[in-house]
Chains A and B, each alone.
Chain A
Amino acid sequence: MELISNLILQGVQMILVLALAPGLTGLVRKVKARLMRKQGAPVLQPYRDLARLMRKEVVLATNASWLFRTSPYMIFAATWVAAALVPTFATGLQFSWTSDLIALVALLGSARFFLALAGMDAGTSFGGIGSSREMMIGTLAEPAMLLVVFTVALVAGSTQLSNVVVYMASGEVGIRVSMGMALIALIIVAVAENARIPVDNPGTHLEVTMVHEAMVLEYSGRHLAMIELAASLKLLLYMSLIGCIFLPWSIAPASAGPSAMLFGFASFFAKLVAGGVLLAVFEISTAKMRVFRVPDFLGVALMLGLLGTLLLFVSRSL
């Protein structure tokens, strides 16, 4: 019985993240536009864009290989599974027991790997530039992310997100400097990983400045839809990750009744809206940094993660 309810919960979670992800992207765009005194496209526009892209014909470069055609699905699948691992409105997800935070980092790493390969596959110079920049960002963001994971795991005593959430919500944690550092590091990583300003500009049309967009320049039709949906999912994933680790109180435990579930859902929705608005405000108030400033930026995340981990060891041995 419990297995069935857990499976249902997992199913709801997977559909929920898929359904909400484009809306979050639309919300960020809308808020940004309103902050710049523009009307902006409706929040639902990304859904329409995806529907349009799904209907459209796929144009393939003549020298594109099988890798180019399969990558969008790989990227989407890996990102979707990763997003399904993060507790959004309830813990006790079925997948949680088979994979943990480190698997999450690995899944996202695999998606990045395929995206970078696909960027180079068609042989255009922009794809190559985009892939090389993406890998540079990735090699710095992934260790920082892992250090954040270590900090959290050391505090909570587990790398499984359901356990982490339960521990964090229990009130045993108190205020810890290490967790503060991990939060800042995670936000920096999230900004970089999701190709947001100041690391990358999701709204640019300038080929030579792009990172993420440069890699997907050659994509069209349903392939592009898959990649865009994966990008939206990734943004949602990072927001729910930050939400579930650092604001875990409203997440319903696995055995909770429907009302707790509903409350968990409402608060998840509120977290996403708040996160989207904060991201939009942050994005319009800063310019993009030079490509070679990104290592410094991510270096801060890495150092914070490292310090957080070290501080934990130091405070324990006292």
Chain B
Amino acid sequence: MTQLPDLAWTSPRDFRVGPFAVTPVLTTEWTALAYALAAGKFTLMSLWAEDGAACMALHDYAAHRVAVARLEGLTDGFPSVGVHHAAAQRLERAAADLFGLVPQGAEDARPWLDHGRWEIAYPLGAAAPHPGHPPYAFLPVEGESLHQVPVGPVHAGIIEPGHFRFTAQGETVVRLEERFGYTHKGIDRLMQGASLARGAELAGRTSGDSTVAYAWAFAQAAEAALEADVPVRAFALRGIMAELERLANHLGDIGGICNDAAFAMMLAQTSVLREKVMRAAFATFGHRFMRDQIVPGGVAADIDSKGVAVLRALIKEVQNRFPPLVELYDNTASLMDRTVATGFAGPDLVRRFGAGGFTGRASGRDFDTRRDLRYAPYHTLKLDVPGREDGDVNARVWIRIREVEQSCLLITQMLDTLPHGPVRTDVEGVHEPREGLGVVEGFRGDILIWLSLDASRRIRRCHMRDPSWFQWPLLEAAIENNIIADFPLCNKSFNCSYSGQDL
């Protein structure tokens, strides 16, 4: 086996303030990295293709540092990482669909994003007329008394489209196979050649419930690439927005999970709280989801003392009304009976896939970008990252409950120490190609955005990796040996994004 390449590891403090130094690697070194990933030496943060190149972002979790390896000069493919390290499989398949760069030696050569309905094949690569695909071959299943239940992409409720192919023996799920790509919007292609302002808007529209986190990650990448000096007040405002977003989504999720166990009371209660968060966001930042509020260089608008008062009142109300709901959850035995021991995601799998957010933290992966790949304003704030080992639906609910409490405390801290000054700076100063990395903790987990700019600050390539890439595969594993009727509960407890990974 080849020696590992000498990677240019970068600490979070460095890659957030300056352009990212990529490590060019040889084919053999690329494969060596794949083996190292499989052996658990680092965590795969993302894998993406560029024009004639393949890139991998790696996280050294022991030393809290990040590296990006790039394999250049590719014409038709690159050695598959997914064949050694399963977490890379879907990313590779997506890269192959977009660029026509085939992961060589991969076990699964089926398309991922491309359902054979695009007019052009490989839209970011050769962009040739589409030859059409053979029908998608679901994994074959053989055995006594097995039957298949196809669910979706059109569901009975108003939710995002995704196809779930259950193979069941009676009620017990033997295998779940997911198929996504139904919300493909061509964002990668739209990004190419876009201005920074347009890019920030596109990033904010990738996954609607995480618009703040996406816009922040994009802004971080752009600001790092262009070495912008963002005012401190902007950081604090971004932090407040991100925590409001987390608060709203977690409250919605906690109620939603209970509702999927037919305990509608909880959803009714948390929906009221969630709505209050949204209205406070509207009153303070002018948009319920705070879309387009974070821009490269700062934030779009400042808040006044009235906004601060609205937020303080909101936090007080949440802190008053949330504990009784937690008690209700904890004391409803029929609910506990559904959530405890359901949808278990093993710690080993979670670690191997590098799943972030509540999914990871509920299964013993103690990682939070806000603490471990720290960025402003969190370096000055007190943050307790909750963790559990049990990895079931109940654990994921409890992580959310603890994070709601933490978010309230964080917002209070930020309001107490809100610095004065401008909220936006100019990012137009650089006239050479630059690359930057942004990693932000969204409510689902770590969102990674890789940004490559040309000399006129137009986007050459923007890769956005949703946390769901590493969480969806775990759902497939978590549902095994559960009953089909428990799937909605497990699915809601993961609450992965469809839009965020279909791009």
A residues with a Cβ closer than 8 A to B are: 32, 35-38, 125-126, 129, 197-198, 201, 203-209, 217, 284-293
Q: Quick check: is B156 within 8 A (CB to CB) of the other chain?
A: yes
* Interface check B334, CB cutoff 8 A: yes
Chain A residues near B151: list those with CB within 8 A: 207-208
Question: Cβ of B75: which chain A residues have Cβ within 8 Å of it?
Answer: none
Residue B272 interfacial (CB < 8 Å): yes
Residue from B258, B332, B487 within 8 A of A208 (CB atoms): B487
B485 near A289: Cβ-Cβ < 8 Å: no
Which A residues are in CB contact (< 8 Å) with B332? 286-287
Query: 16 A-B residue contacts at CB 8 Å?
Result: A36-B264, A125-B147, A125-B149, A126-B149, A203-B262, A206-B260, A208-B484, A209-B488, A217-B156, A286-B263, A286-B334, A287-B332, A287-B337, A288-B262, A288-B263, A290-B485
Query: Chain B contacts of A204 at CB under 8 A?
Result: 262
Query: What 0/1 readout, one digit per residue, does chain B (459-491) give for beta carbons within 8 Å of chain A?
Result: 000000000000000000000000111111000
In the bound assembly, the distance between CA atoms of A32 and B262 in angstroms comes to 12
Q: Which residues of B contact A293 (CB under 8 A)?
A: 337
Contact residues in A for B149 (Cβ distance below 8 Å): 125-126, 129, 208
* A289:B337 contact, CB within 8 angstroms: yes
Chain A residues positioned under 8 Å from B156 (CB to CB): 205-207, 217
Task: Flag whether B155 is at the interface (Cβ < 8 A).
Answer: yes
User: Closest residue to A205 on the B side, CB-wise?
Assistant: B157
Residues B326-346 near A (CB distance < 8 A): 332, 334-335, 337-338
Q: Say if the beta carbon of B150 comes within 8 Å of chain A.
A: yes
Complex: how many Å from CA A86 to CA B68? 76
The residue in chain A whose Cβ has the minimal distance to the Cβ of B492 is A206
**CB contact under 8 A between A125 and B262, given known A289-B338, A290-B483:** no
Closest chain A residue to B482 by CB distance? A290
Among B156, B272, B338: residue with most chain A CB under 10 A: B156
For window 32-88 of B, CB contacts with A under 8 Å fall at: none
**Secondary structure of the A contact surface, majority rule:** loop
Q: Assuming the A-B contacts A125-B149, A290-B338, are A284 and B171 also in contact, with contact meaning beta carbons closer than 8 angstroms in the complex?
A: no
Given contacts A287-B261, A291-B171, contact A206 B488 (CB under 8 A): yes
Please, which residues of chain B bring their CB within 8 A of the CB of A290?
337-338, 483, 485-486
The CA-CA distance from A197 to B332 in the complex, in Å, is 14
Asked whether A287 lies within 8 Å of B155 as measured between CB atoms, the reply is: no
Which residues of A lie under 8 Å from residue B486 when comparing CB positions?
290
How far, in angstroms, from A284 to B42 measured CA to CA in the complex? Answer: 47
CB atoms of B483 and A291 under 8 A apart? yes
Asked if residues B483 and A292 are in contact (CB atoms below 8 Å), the reply is: yes
B148 at the interface (CB under 8 A from A): yes
Report whether B485 and A208 are in contact in the complex, using a CB–CB cutoff of 8 Å: yes
Residues of A within 8 A of B26 (CB): none
CB of B109 within 8 A of chain A?
A: no
Q: Are B171 and A292 in contact (CB under 8 A)?
A: yes
Q: Which residues of B contact A289 (CB under 8 A)?
A: 334, 337-338
Q: Choose among A35, A205, A206, A288 the residue with the greatest number of B CB atoms under 10 Å from its CB.
A: A206
- CB nearest neighbor in A for B260: A206
B147 surroundings in chain A (CB, below 8 A):
125
Which of A35, A204, A287, A288 has the most chain B CB within a 10 Å cutoff? A287
Q: Which residues of B sit under 8 angstroms from A203, Cβ to Cβ?
A: 262, 264
Residue of B nearest to A203 (CB): B264
Whole-angstrom distance between the Cβ of A58 and the nearest chain B Cβ: 19
Residues of B within 8 A of A32 (CB): 264
Contacts of B484 in A (CB 8 A): 129, 208
Instruction: Please report which residues of chain B, range 164-197, place their CB below 8 angstroms from some CB of chain A when the two chains form the complex.
Output: 166, 171
B335 touches A287 (CB 8 A): yes
Cα distance, A310 to B265, chains bound together (Å): 40
Task: Determine the distance from Cα of A126 to Cα of B484 in the docked complex, in whole angstroms.
Answer: 11
B127 at the interface (CB under 8 A from A): no
Which residues from A are CB-within-8-Å of B171?
291-292
Picked from B148, B155, B265, B338, the residue with its CB within 8 Å of the CB of A125 is B148
Cα(A203)–Cα(B268), bound, Å: 14
Least CB distance from B338 to A in Å reads 6
How many angstroms between the C-alpha atoms of A287 and B266 in the bound complex? Answer: 10
A238 to B338, CA, bound (A): 28
Chain A residue nearest in CB terms to B147: A125
Interchain CA distance A205-B171 in the complex, whole Å: 19
Chain B 390-438 interface residues, beta-carbon cutoff 8 Å to A? none
| B150–A125 touching, CB < 8 Å | yes
Give A38 to B264 CA distance when docked, in angstroms. 11
| Chain B residues with CB under 8 A of A206 | 156-157, 260, 488
Q: B264 to A284, Cβ gap below 8 A?
A: yes
Nearest-Cβ distance from residue A130 to partner chain B, whole angstroms: 11
